[in-house]
Every structure is written in C-alpha cells, then in structure tokens.
Amino acid sequence: MAYETGTCTTQQDFLNKLQTFLASEGWTVDDWDTAEKELALHKSTVYVSFRWDATATTGGISVHHALGFTGGAHPGYHLHDSGNGAKTGSPIVSQRRLSRVGNAFQNYWIFAGTTFCHVVLEYLPGLYRHLSFGILEKMGTWTGGEYAAGHVWETDVNAIDDPRDTRHTLLFDGANTNSFTEGATIHADGLPGEPSANTQFVVIWAGGSSVGNDSDGYARGYGIGGMRDGFYQNALGWIRANPNSGYVPLIPIQVWYVPDATGVADWRLLGYTPDMRLVNIGNMVAAQEFTVGADTWKVFPWTRKQYLLANAEESWNGGIAYKKVV
C-alpha cells in the first residue's frame, strides 16, 4: 500500500496530483482533459472517472463508476456506467460527488492499495471530504466487488451541524435517506436472489429498495453500509479511542445487500472496505497517527471535528482511520 500527502490549490491541481500519483502505482490514466475538465483512470477491473468545475465556489467534483472505458465518452457514458454521478451541469451540486469543495484547496492524503484507493481532501482549513474506489474485501463467491464512493454533506440549517442527519452521504453510508443517486455503487454478478442476466450494481443507501437503473437499463440492487449505522457502529462508535492507553477500537465497515427474490429483509454480507475503519476521535486530532501492532493508522474527521451546533459543518467525534503503508 502506497501513501502520499501534499498541498493542492484547485480542483484541477488536486485531480492532477491524484492521477500522477496513481499512474506511478500502476493505474492507467485513460483520459486527462483539462479543457473538458475530465479525468478517467483504471486498474485491473476498477474504472472510475471525474468531472470538475474550476469556476465553482460551492460546487463539487462528480464521481463516476463504470466497468470499462469508452474512448471519446464523457464521465457517466463509459461502458456499463453505474448510473450515479452527474453527467452534466455546472456547478456540480447533485448526485454522487465531493460536495461544495469550491476551488481553493489546502491539503490531500492518498492511501493506495493494490486494487483500491482512499483519498482525504482538506478543501478549507479543518474541513474534509473523503473519496474511495477499488475492490471490496468480498465475502462468499460472486463476481465483481468493484466500487466507487463519494461524500456529500447537506448544508441545510437543520442538518449541517448534525452528523446524524440522514441527508448526509458518507462513503458506504448506513444512514442516508436523501438520494440514492449520491450513494456508493458496487458491481456484483451472481448474487444469490438476483436475476442471473443482470450486470448488477448494488446501490448503498438507507432510504428503501427503489434505487433505479444503471446506464444499460438494468435494475440496480439495494444495499446498506456500516459507515454511520449498523451493529459495529452502534455498539462501539461511542467509545473514544485513546492511543496513549492502547485502547483504540477500529470499527470494520461492513457492506450488505438485500436479495430481490426473497421479498423479505434477508440481509446478506457482501464484504468489508479494505484498510479503512471507523473510529471515535474525541481524544485525537486531524491527521494524527497511531500504531496497532505492526500497523500505522492515520485519522481524519468525517468533515470537521467540532461540537458547537454553530450552523457550520460539524461531525462531532466521528472519524475515519486509514492504514498507512510507505
């Protein structure tokens, strides 16, 4: 697993440094078009692409997930696109994205494994967005596991300072009921209970089973993640990690789906996010490192570590830990 951190100044600069680093780690850059403001890259069977808007002050970066690259196509139109991510529009204010990051950035951190990549962006001092794409640590025998996940923070006055609000969408989210088009998507063929002919995308959201179609018109499956809800989170998320004492509960992030054919809430485990854990950072600060055994981890707030209820982005003690390997 490779690691890089540095400074970035704009959306384009951030994505340029991301694609440059990933190219050095064996990823193929399929498209880097600064005129169209598009990036597409892949490694193995993981295909992701991005749109950005360099003029936006509150717009985002759109995140797209497909099963191949189509030369000359724009993000959202590549082979077997998952269906999430805004294909048009400027500024980018809807669908799966890094929301409201504007165009004046600070710092970034990249954690890249063999077939996955986690990115943390500090777009304003003390404010963070998270991005992840790759292949899950799968449970069972099924084809796929490729995923893409973004980070949307709702700025409504009743939501912006409450990390529990169901209008936020954080990577593999177990609480978002706002929009399935913001959710993470996972490619999965051959899941029990799913039509065998489908090129299936499982959409991660908590708002119900109606999740629309992919770009080929196939009905997508419904799943849920353990980022802000679930057994592990509810049981352990309230415990403050304390590296000084060595007690650091690192909470695995599970991903589940509901088979269409059962007609009941028959949850089945798809797998886990690689080298990413939930952690309560009440006793920690952003970008702090700690070790567990032979592993070094680095922690960041969900958005901003703050509990003032001040009508600003606050995620209290909610944090994410990424394994750091150099």
**CA quadruple 224, 227, 232, 234: dihedral positive or negative?**
negative
Q: Give the DSSP H or E segment for 268.
A: strand 268-280
The parent domain of residue 211 ranges over: 2-324
The whole-angstrom separation of Cα 61 and Cα 129 is: 11
**Dist. CA 307–CA 18, nearest whole Å:** 31
Report which residue type is found at 16.
N
Per-residue pLDDT at 262: 52
Residue 310 makes CB contacts below 8 A (sequence gap 6+) with: 161
Q: What is the DSSP letter of 12?
A: H
pLDDT value of position 197: 57
Contacts of residue 99, defined as CB under 8 A and 6 or more positions apart, other chains included, come to 60, 93, 129, 150, 151, 152, 153
Q: How many residues are given for the chain? A: 326
- In this prediction, residue 142 carries a pLDDT of 87
Q: Are 280 and 305 in contact (CB under 8 A)?
A: no
User: For residue 240, which phi and psi values (nearest 5 degrees)?
Assistant: -75, 125
Distance CA 255, CA 268 (A): 9
pTM: 0.96
A 10 A CB-CB count for 192 gives: 13
What span, in angstroms and rounded, lies between the C-alpha atoms of 76 and 80?
Answer: 9
Of the candidates 292, 290, 282, the one whose C-alpha atom is nearest the C-alpha of residue 317 is: 282
Block mean pLDDT (10 aa), the chain, length 326: 93 97 98 97 98 88 97 96 95 96 94 96 97 96 94 95 96 94 93 67 89 90 90 85 85 88 71 96 95 93 97 96 91
Number of domains in the chain: 1
Beta strand pairing call for 46-51 and 38-43 = antiparallel
Per the listing, tokens 């992840």 go with 132
In order of 23, 237, 254, the CA distances from 249 in angstroms are 34, 8, 15
